[in-house]
Amino acid sequence: MVRITDETMQPFEKEHIDAVRKAAPECTLFLKRDGTLPLDAPCRVALYGSGARKTIKGGTGSGDVNVRHFVTIEEGLQKAGFEITTKKWLDEYDALLVSRRAEFVRQVKEEARQLGINPVMYCMGKAMPEPGYEFALDAGGEMAVYALARISGEGADRAMVAGDISLSETEIQDILALNKKYEKFVLVLNVGGMVDLEPVKDVKNILLLGQLGTPTGDVLADLLLGKSYPSGKLAMTWAPIGKYASTKGFGDMDDTLYTEGIYVGYRYFDTVHEKPDFPFGYGLSYTNFEMAVKDTVVETGKITVTVEVRNTGTFAGKETVQVYYSAPAGKLDKPYQELAAFGKTKELRPGECANVTLGFNIVDMASYDTELSSYILEGGKYIIRVGNSSEDAVPCCKVVLDETAVIRKVKNICPGCTFKDFVPETETDAASETVKDRSMADIPVHRIWAKDMPQEIVVYDEMPREQAGNACTWEDVKNGRSTIDEFVGSLNEKQLAYLSIGLFEDHAGMGSIVGAAAQSVAGAAGESSQRLQDLGVPSLVMADGPAGLRLCTKYKVVDGKAKGVDSPLAGFTDFLDAEQLRQMAAMAPRPSEEELAAPLNYMYCTAIPIGTALAQSFSEEVCRMCGDIVGDEMEKFGIHLWLAPAMNIQRSPLCGRNFEYYSEDPLVSGRLAAAVTKSVQAHKGCGVTVKHFALNNQETNRTASNSIVSERAIREIYLRGFEICVREAQPHTLMSSYNLVNGEHTCNSRDLQTHVLRNEWGFEGMVMTDWYAAGSTMLGINKGESKHPAGSSAGCIHAGNDLVMPGMQADLDDMMDALSNPEHAYPITKAQLQVTAKRVLEMVLKLT
């Protein structure tokens, strides 16, 4: 770990920010484009909108990154030589925000009071809808840019109101007026997720800039000046909010019913023939491309498609080839199509072409048959499509399977779904062939046979037996003189329990603050136990993501502990008023002589593009590059585990944390999270923590809301991305989620944490809980009266969820009780604690 005592910008910071600036255009895309961009040179620009000066670099909460500085749109354009003609408008808008925000904060706190919810937790993540106003749009300029921003974050969902999911009247009016007034006009979306663009979708240019971290404003300037070009694609379908199958019933305080089953995102829109505003996989650049399928090969269990891509425009660019499959509906209904593979070209100059070859396993087209508790490939025709969006994919070959094949026999999991999933009325059998622009008769047909398909029968773990041990030290284990099993066998029950709980002070209650519970690195979210330090066992330090490394920017070392100088609550204090902040400051212990004299150290980390933006790159290379930046900063600042990537499915645009998540599609989430994982873990002593496992798709009452979902949807949609990431990249650790699934907290679910994760997918790492997931009701984090009880710490051990974070006395008490009390809801044995403690120790051995 390096200690930086000089506050000036370090060479690594500049290198990292430059790298993000170079790669981030790949995360952006035009939704509309009229050919008047890019510009030849900087000009006088009329810059309007909420994101102009108050640009959002990423969302709020634990996903926020504390940076030295980030570049707003106003600053980025000015630095690039643009003259901004709308300073008066921007000043007026700033003043308006201050007064409206005070009113909004008052209102939200009152709501919390009435609902009986802890006000800090209730207010966390709540975004103020964009206010209405009437400011003149009378500034001059050769072009106009309207930057529309939205923020959201942990703790609250987005609202179906004007100024959040929808545009406000003022926004609509101003955007349409500017579009009319200026020959050159671009609506820039500085958003972390979908906004309903229906009223303005005819404007000339709409650029989805997204939230790109530290260099956000610079990236826009580069794009406008043609120093770079967009090459992203939507990782989520954009449609008016009322049209998503998930909207009805979204965000129930107690039970959210996922009645749409597997019909999430484009799987729904394409199947029911509902045309979205902008489909999944869609995005325009400065140029155009043509695709031609050159070859399709089916052999050794794989389908491989070779596509020639030609740049037919006048600007350089990159195109993403997408391969979809339509499976035959038989016993099981099927979506119209599902993504099977994707790949991006290298940069193509005008006129240049390149081949992209994409392959995928035939078994990856299997569906889950709950009745048989098996993944099956149904007999019939599989149509393979190629294109550059879900709406624009044409058949390139047919693969015909003679009869149904059972390819993996598993066990039923997560019982308790109370309804039957929605089944579309539309004929979904791919044989009915909605041929778009090519005759199905022309495409090659490949035949495959059920007898050739692999067959796997998963074997599940029995409960473990207690291990005997040998007194030895951690040093002996490190030197190979003793095994971890011997070491674990020599520990008593309390020592084992301590290892399975994060670092906490005895009887400290909620001894640490959410998001900053570590002692070794300031601002790190948590740390594993230091109780076995006398035996030589070091702790693991964890810091948040996913938009970079979340640490305090300034700290001192006092008594061997790192103490942040910036508030550990930075990013969480949005709704605390001056009086509450004063009270908190007064509660903080007075700094000692030693602390006052200690030198300041600095940790300025880089904010990388938010998860959704990374996914929009559809590029493993971009993801690897960002993972590499994070890994490098982890090594520098002594972080072992990065609490990211966050890879929950974007089930509804209303989820407040969607900006952290990747996509509505599990393949995109899984593949890109695997790329990030591999690059972080290539750094010495560094691992990722993929989160939140699983079905954490809403923030409303997040610690006690129950996702009620069919097993088929759980497996095919919500677990699939995690499965891909685990199988491809073996993330060192994984974080279970807050919510319940079909009535049981995920951290207490042996089905999820052991049967699926380890027995079915072969996960070799360690599982930790989300912060206070076990026992959070006790802390008043939940709504006043929860229908569902809190998770149990002993239940975590029973489930195979190895580490309870961030740790408190109540966790220890619960585990000790469960060891001896047969009446406990989750009685546990010493042998079970040995298993979880061993996994923690294995991680310590690997990373320290």
Q: Is residue 770 a contact point for ligand BGC (CB under 6 A)?
A: yes
Cβ contacts of 241-248, under 8 Å, gap ≥ 24 = 241/160, 241/165, 241/166, 241/194, 241/196, 241/653, 241/654, 243/269, 243/274, 243/276, 244/268, 244/652, 244/653, 245/422, 246/651, 246/652, 246/654, 247/160, 247/652, 247/654
Residue at 3: amino acid letter:
R
178 or 517: CB nearest ligand BGC: 517
Binding mask 628-657 for ligand BGC (x = CB under 6 A): ---------------x--------------
From the CA atom positions of the chain, what is the Rg in Å? 27
Binding string, residues 116-155; x marks residues near ligand BGC by CB under 6 A: --------------------------------------x-
Taking CB under 6 A as the rule, does residue 659 contact ligand BGC? no
Six-digit token pair at 671?
A: 């593949």
> How distant, in Å, are the alpha carbons of 66, 282, 512 from that of 583?
23, 50, 17
Residues 335-354 that bind ligand BGC (CB under 6 A): none
The one-letter amino acid at 560: G
The verdict on 790 binding ligand BGC (CB under 6 A) reads no
Does 214 participate in binding ligand BGC (rule CB under 6 A)? no
Q: Smaller CB distance to ligand BGC: residue 632 or 770? A: 770
Query: Of the two residues 123 and 383, which places its CB atom closer to ligand BGC in the complex?
Result: 123
Q: Name the β-bridge partners of 527.
A: 541
Q: Does 771 bind ligand BGC (CB under 6 A)?
A: yes
> Based on CB atoms, which residue is closest to ligand BGC, 213 or 546?
546
Which residue in this structure is represented by tokens 């740390």? Answer: 527
Is the Cβ–Cβ distance between 653 and 166 less than 8 Å?
Answer: no
3-state secondary structure 689-716: EEEEECCCCCCCCCCCCEEECCHHHHHH
Q: Which of 225, 411, 434, 410 is nearest to 315 (CA)?
A: 225
x-or-dash string of contact with ligand BGC, 567-606, rule CB under 6 A: ----------------------------------------
Of these, 525, 655, 673, 796, which contacts ligand BGC (CB under 6 A)?
525
To the nearest 10°, report the CA torsion of 438, 440, 441, 444. 100
Instruction: Give the residue, chosen from 396, 514, 551, 676, that forms a contact with ligand BGC under the rule CB under 6 A.
Output: 514
Q: Based on CB atoms, which residue is closest to ligand BGC, 194 or 643?
A: 643
Judged by beta carbon, residue 489 or residue 806, the one nearer ligand BGC is: 806
Q: Give least dist CB 512 to ligand BGC, A.
A: 10
**Torsion (CA) 105, 108, 112, 114 in degrees, nearest 10:** 120
Q: Kindly state the smallest distance separating residue 805's Cβ from ligand BGC, in Å.
A: 8
CB of 580 to ligand BGC, least distance (A): 20
Give CA–CA dist 597/600, Å, rounded. 9
In whole angstroms, the minimum distance from the beta carbon of 27 to ligand BGC comes to: 21
Query: In the window 59-88, what residues touch ligand BGC (CB under 6 A)?
Result: 62
Q: What is the DSSP string of 527-557?
A: EB--TTGGGT----EEEE-SSB-B--SEEEE
Q: Which two tokens stand for residue 405?
A: 């094949």
Q: Which residue from 651, 691, 715, 732 is in contact with ligand BGC, where contact means CB under 6 A?
A: 691
Choose between 488 and 514: whose C-beta lies nearer to ligand BGC.
514
What is the contact mask toward ligand BGC in residues 369 to 408, using x (rule: CB under 6 A)? ----------------------------------------
Q: φ and ψ at 275, to 5 degrees? A: -85, 120
Minimal distance in Å, beta carbon 5 to ligand BGC? 27
Does residue 524 interact with ligand BGC by CB under 6 A?
no
- Coil, strand or helix: which one is 53? helix
Does 544 contact ligand BGC by CB under 6 A?
Answer: yes
Of 515, 653, 656, 791, the one binding ligand BGC by CB under 6 A = 515
> What is the rounded distance in angstroms from the CA atom of residue 667 to the CA atom of residue 620?
12
Applying CB under 6 A, the site for ligand BGC has a residue count of 10
CB 250 within 8 A of CB 159: no
The residue (of 282 and 771) whose beta carbon lies closer to ligand BGC is 771
Q: Beta strands 320-326 and 380-387: pairing type?
A: antiparallel
**In the complex, which residues of this chain contact ligand BGC (CB under 6 A)?**
62, 154, 514-515, 525, 544, 643, 691, 770-771
